[in-house]
Amino acid sequence: MKNYIIHDPWCIIEDRFRPEHNEFSESIFSIGNGRMGQRANFEEYYSGKTMQGSYLAGVYYPDKTRVGWWKNGYPEYFAKVINAVQWIGIDIEIDGEKLDLATCDIRRFERRLDMKGGVLYRTVVATMPNGRTIQVETKRMYHLFQSDTASLQYSLQVLDADAAVSVTSYLDGDVMNRDSNYDERFWEPIAEDIENDLVVVSETKKTKFRVEARLRHVCRIGGTEQSAGNKTKRRLYTGESWTMAVKAGEPICIEKYVAIVSSMNHPLDKLAEVAMDSLRKITSKDYSRLMAMQAAAWARVWAESDIQIEGDVAAQQAIRFNIFQLNQTYTGEDARLNIGPKGFTGEKYGGVTYWDTEAYCLPFYLATQDPHVARNLLLYRYQHLEKAIDNAAKLGFTDGAALYPMVTINGEECHNEWEITFEEIHRNGAIAYAIYNYVRYTDDQEYLMSHGLEVLIGISRFWAQRVNWSAHKQQYVMLGVTGPNEYENNVNNNWYTNRIAQWCLRYTLAVLEQERTKRDDRLTALLVKVKFKDEERKRWQHIIDNLYFPEDRERGIFLQQDGFLDKELVPVSDLPPSVRPLNQHWSWDRILRSCYIKQADVLQGLYFFEEEFDEETIRRNYDFYEPLTVHESSLSPCVHAIIAAKLAKEEKAYAFYLRTARLDLDDYNNDTEDGLHITSMAGTWLAIVEGFAGMRVRGGKLHFQTFIPKNWLSYAFHVQYRGVKLHIRVRQDGFEIKNLSDCEISIIFNGEPISVSPERKS
């Protein structure tokens, strides 16, 4: 764990340079705008520990798979959202020596991420080996108001003496991925231009994404703009240098404005024009105007998604950090994009889509954005249905059965560990559940007919083929799976997977029936299209009625899988801290045999299908499984926080909240240097809204069942629901509900039905 981020309600601050943790800080201070983003790398050259990372949403490379032993069915490649053109670079030389903070004596250092205004600031005072003391102040933005552009302001002073300074501002497209499987470079040069703007045009190998980066910059000394400097270009690089004599304390200011556009969004022959136009729009304004526009764009986001917590600044900072990062990663404008577990903050997980999106992120976007944002997340999977059917066919499934990939960017499977690729099939269920969740929340029945049902049929067909009839049990069983708890592989009858499969078959049949009664011609057309046979209905019903679920009647619990009780059941609290996290200390063999659970598994099912179980059943299962859970997936604490809140285990719920909320800020799992856990950040939001405020949708109505942690004075949030926007504030001694829309809404609040008129107070 680390504990050095200074607590502040709106800012993330570090006030000292810790070179050994620089990669951690680079992750924490990452910024982006949904279209692109970047780790908080320094502008100037840095020879210390750093991971360079600038990413463009959807621009990926299929990196050839690397595995020890090939297994039939493995994908040929792992698609990665790759490190892209680096536009921030500014090399500085003072009295003939290159500025490199790794070699300096750092006198003062501060990084500050202003989440309200969407600006990253840095201040450094440092003495170089040649004795020169410099001060650097920077501001950097990925513009939310114009997402193909970004800008920075870099100000440098030599404090102690007059000096000869040389500054080179550049674009560098010759970048690599640290995790490249074969140390391959993914970019090829197309053109470099230094005539007017600095331009680098490059293209990804194989996928042929063409990217044009166009940079305009100015260099001023004490307010006077320097005339053109010395321009250079080479393969994938363009730069301009100025050499000048400055007086002690005289500020040199460099402003850099960049437009980065790609063939993903524009025709090849229009790239230059679009980049020029985008650049013109931002360079026609001065920097303070751009900052005001950025603040206004972020103000609109905060107006919908902020959560205010009074009385606990650590919790306040943390929830805002999570919300900020989610909004930086995905804005919902483009159904080809999705939410990578690391967003734009690192390479791990390749920047592509996991079940995390459907299981964890969807509710956040549903409640805080216009419904088209969540719909686009569903459409992403709809567009991949054909590929999911091909993917299942590769594994031997037939007749339109669809298995969505564990990891994907374009619909094809990228993951290559058999126990996950072939066995962690519960992900298919989460995609069906997201359709249900979306329709339940928005009442967009139309989506079911136009897109959802087709996906549900494909997924149901998969489940119907994946189970087999056990003559011994005289029931259907599901063998050889990995549940959400990846610390168990190749198990039989994972309760959660069986449950979500059964639910999915039942829901698909219910939707088929519902649509049949509407006599919509589109249903007939769809059933013809997917070659649906009536026997399928019967078989599905038979599976629903005869699926086996492992349970222990004596303890009154569901068993995570067959044989779970044969394990030696020693609670996590008995483990010495020196062996945690287990995945960094124990052999895989030992982990697999142990009783320790990586993340919610049975409890994930009880969370999704809460209404099907009475509270005592949920309590018994929670009391059995929680003490065995190590939460070594970032996705785990939030589900536990929600269930603990429901069971009125308030201290536990709060502890889980803090763990999920400050997971990255305090580096709980010791892995934030790889990038932030973006998808679990939605879980933090869930922990407050579904956990503490107990929000649910039941029977088409919003329900709340609230509690407030002891040390909070109040918390408040907005939710959008079917055209109504509510602002809810929970205090220690009561609550307020405001209806910020035009129409009345009936809700159930702490068990009482209430009708909330526009702007009414309770």
Return binding residues. 355-356, 598-599
- Alpha-helix runs per DSSP H in 284-349: 287-305, 313-329
Which residue number, 229 or 675, has a Cβ lying nearer to ligand BGC?
Answer: 675
C-beta of residue 261 within 8 angstroms of C-beta of residue 275: yes
Beta carbons of 177 and 224 less than 8 angstroms apart: no
CB of 706 to ligand BGC, least distance (A): 29
Measure CA of the first residue to CA of the last residue in the chain; give whole Å: 42
Whole-number CA gyration radius for the chain: 27
Q: Tokens 């940079």 appear where?
A: 215
If one asks whether residue 679 binds ligand BGC (CB under 6 A), the answer comes out as yes
> Does residue 355 bind ligand BGC (CB under 6 A)?
yes
Q: Considering only residues 474 through 533, tell me which ones interact with ligand BGC, judged by CB under 6 A.
A: 484, 486
One residue of 599, 629, 684, 720 binding ligand BGC per CB under 6 A: 599
Give catalytic status of residue 736 as yes or no.
no
Count of residues engaged in binding ligand BGC, rule: CB under 6 A = 12
Region from 52-60, 202-210, 352-360, 526-534 binding ligand BGC, contact rule CB under 6 A: 352-360
Binding segment for ligand BGC (CB under 6 A), chosen from 72-80, 108-116, 354-362, 649-657, is 354-362
- List binding-site positions for substrate: 355-356, 598-599
What DSSP state is assigned to residue 5?
S
Q: Which is nearer to ligand BGC, 199 or 407 (CB)?
A: 407
Contact 237, 171 (CB under 8 A): yes
Element (H, E) at 122: strand 119-127
Minimum CB separation of residue 35 from ligand BGC in Å reads: 22
Q: Which two tokens stand for residue 748?
A: 């159930």
Neighbours of 130 (CB within 10 A): 10
**Burial level of 384, CB count in 10 A (0-12/13-18/19+)?**
buried
Token output for 105: 């004596």
Cβ contact 216:283 at 8 Å = yes
Copy the structure tokens of residue 311: 């009385």
Which residue's CB is nearer to ligand BGC, number 58 or number 341?
Answer: 341
Options 170, 354, 607, 685; binder of ligand BGC; rule CB under 6 A:
354
Choosing from 75, 341, 400, 429, the residue that interacts with ligand BGC (CB under 6 A) is: 341
> What stretch of H or E contains 751?
none
Pick the piece of the chain touching ligand BGC (CB under 6 A) from 51-59, 80-88, 283-291, 347-355: 347-355
Q: Is 450 helix (H, G, I), strand (E, B) or coil?
A: helix
DSSP strand pairing (36-38 vs 31-32):
antiparallel
Q: Per CB under 6 A, which region of 172-180, 320-328, 348-356, 600-608 contacts ligand BGC?
A: 348-356
State the residue for tokens 């520990």.
49
Identify the three-state secondary structure at position 388. Answer: helix
Residue closer to ligand BGC by CB (options 343, 371) is 343
In the complex, least distance from residue 360 CB atom to ligand BGC, rounded to whole angstroms: 9
The CB-of-337 to ligand BGC minimum distance in angstroms stands at 17
d(CA 444, CA 510): 16
Q: Residue 169 or residue 636: which is nearer to ligand BGC going by CB?
A: 636
Does 601 engage in binding with ligand BGC (CB under 6 A)?
Answer: no
Asked if 411 is part of the footprint of ligand BGC (rule: CB under 6 A), the reply reads no
CB–CB of 665/609 below 8 Å? Answer: no
Q: Which of 44, 212, 240, 486 is catalytic?
A: 486
Residue 330 CB, nearest distance to ligand BGC (Å)? 15
Sheet holding 31-32, edge to edge: 31-32, 36-38, 54-64, 77-83
Shortest distance, CB of residue 158 to ligand BGC, whole angstroms? 46
In 3-state terms, what secondary structure has residue 684? Answer: helix
List residues bridging with 221 in a β-sheet: 224, 252
Residue that is written with structure tokens 């040069």 in the block: 189
Give the shortest CB-75-to-ligand BGC separation in angstroms. Answer: 17
Q: How far apart are CA 560 and CA 488, in angstroms?
A: 10
Based on CB atoms, which residue is closest to ligand BGC, 200 or 407? 407
116 phi and psi angles, rounded to 5 deg: -70, -45
Residue-wise burial string across 30-55, b where 16 or more C-beta atoms lie within 10 A, e elsewhere? bbbbbbbbbbbbbbbbbeeebbbbbb
| Binding flag, residue 404, ligand BGC (CB under 6 A) | no
Q: Which is nearer to ligand BGC, 291 or 430 (CB)?
A: 430
Nearer to ligand BGC, 238 or 599 (CB): 599
One residue of 22, 283, 328, 633 binding ligand BGC per CB under 6 A: 633
Q: Stretches 210-218, 349-357, 459-467, 753-761: which one binds ligand BGC (CB under 6 A)?
A: 349-357
Could you tell me the smallest distance in angstroms from the CB atom of residue 417 to ligand BGC? 11
Nearer CB in complex with ligand BGC: 322/633: 633
| Segment near ligand BGC (CB under 6 A); pick from 27-35, 235-243, 350-358, 385-393 | 350-358
Return the residue of 306, 334, 356, 423 that touches ligand BGC, per CB under 6 A: 356
**CB of 252: closest distance to ligand BGC in angstroms?**
43
Count of beta carbons in the 10 Å neighbourhood of residue 454: 19
Q: Which residues bind ligand BGC (CB under 6 A)?
A: 341, 349, 354-356, 484, 486, 598-599, 633, 635, 679
Catalytic residues: 486
